[in-house]
Structure 1
Amino acid sequence: MTPTRNLLILLAAAGSVAVLLGALGFQYLGDLPPCKLCIYQRWPHVAAVVIALGALATRGPALPSLGALAALSTAGIGFYHTGVERGWWEGPTSCTASGSVTGISADDLLNQIMSAEIQRCDDVLWDLFGLSMASWNTIASLVFMALWIWAALKSKA
């Protein structure tokens, strides 16, 4: 027996809810502050949950396709974040330690330090089996994307 369209949508949305609750749990119960890229990864999950509410009330493939795009977006941000954490590429200068301080006055440098984000994007605060939260988000979000695509394929135009 194959899952129904609505079950696939519910599974994808429940996955996004679980990721969001996990992130908030790490933040507020585990005292692990999120960096800027961590926050960016949350927004597409929120969008996916909202899209799921609409998709359950419609029959066409448009909203499940949009849900797949939301899942792909957070997977992409998570992959980018993983690369920043592993040093594959530089991250945003506002949340990594890779910014240059040459040619900056002492006052400007002090202002940058005082206005800097508390949590750096290139620090891994938690990992499981050698994968950071950003890496796990990437993997989970690709699974959610597959569920959304499957739901879109089961949709009636």
Structure 2
Amino acid sequence: MNFRAIRIASLALPLFLLGGAYVSQYIGGLYPCEMCWWQRYPHMAAIPIALLAFFVANPLAQRVSVALAAFAVFTSGVIGGFHAGVEYGWWQGMTGCTSAITGSGEDYMKAILNAPLLRCDVAPWQMFGISLAGYNFLLSCGGAVAILWALWKNPK
């Protein structure tokens, strides 16, 4: 793979994944929970970082930009993996995000009234048993590793 293709991949991957998140939100009606937003932020950071590789003349700066964009995408994937684990019940998520109600009497009422409308521990959509967070984990981590591998294999 040539370096131009690697640069394009480092930009296309976060654009595609973030675009998919917004399409699922605004067209599919799947509104993001707090942890869904956490997954979007690294993609938002990766896009301008990847764009730098197209506008700087220094080859080393281009390679660093591509690598940093890939690491940002990988970060989103790790967050997605954690979120998927919360959805599948493998571990507990953040209590403010999962709407855990504990206590008694007045505490119950406060917890119910302050509970977020969108729970992070319930997957609103799945395909083949994999949630959107799970797909973000697979695509982000896999894509970032592929970009970093191609970058390493192409020393020019």
Compute the TM-score of the two structures, normalised by the length of structure 2. Answer: 0.86
Distance 2:146 2:128 in 1: 25
Any unmatched runs of 5+ in structure 1?
none
Matched with 1:92 is 94
Distance 2:26 2:123 in 1: 17
Matched with 1:70 is 72
Code of the residue aligned with 2:14 in structure 1: it is S
Provide the alpha-carbon RMSD of the alignment.
Answer: 1.9
Work out which of the residue numbers 45, 48, 51 in structure 2 matches 1:50.
48
Instruction: Report if the CA contact (8 A) 2:101-2:111 is conserved.
Output: no
Query: What does 1:116-155 correspond to in 2, within 5 Å?
Result: 116-150=115-149, 152-153=151-152, 154=154
Instruction: Report if the CA contact (8 A) 1:64-1:151 is conserved.
Output: no
Distance 1:12 1:109 in 2: 47
* CA positional deviation for 1:100: 4.8
Instruction: Report if the CA contact (8 A) 2:74-2:140 is conserved.
Output: yes
Distance 1:147 1:64 in 2: 12
Matched with 2:102 is 101
Instruction: Report if the CA contact (8 A) 1:52-1:64 is conserved.
Output: yes
Code of the residue aligned with 1:16 in structure 2: it is P
Work out which of the residue numbers 12, 24, 27 in structure 2 matches 1:14.
12
Distance 1:155 1:50 in 2: 23
Higher relative contact order (CA 8 A, sep 6+): 1
Any unmatched runs of 5+ in structure 2?
none
What is the number of equivalent residue pairs in this alignment?
A: 151
Compute the TM-score of the two structures, normalised by the length of structure 1. Answer: 0.86
Code of the residue aligned with 2:72 in structure 1: it is A
- Identify, as 1 or 2, the structure richer in helix: 2
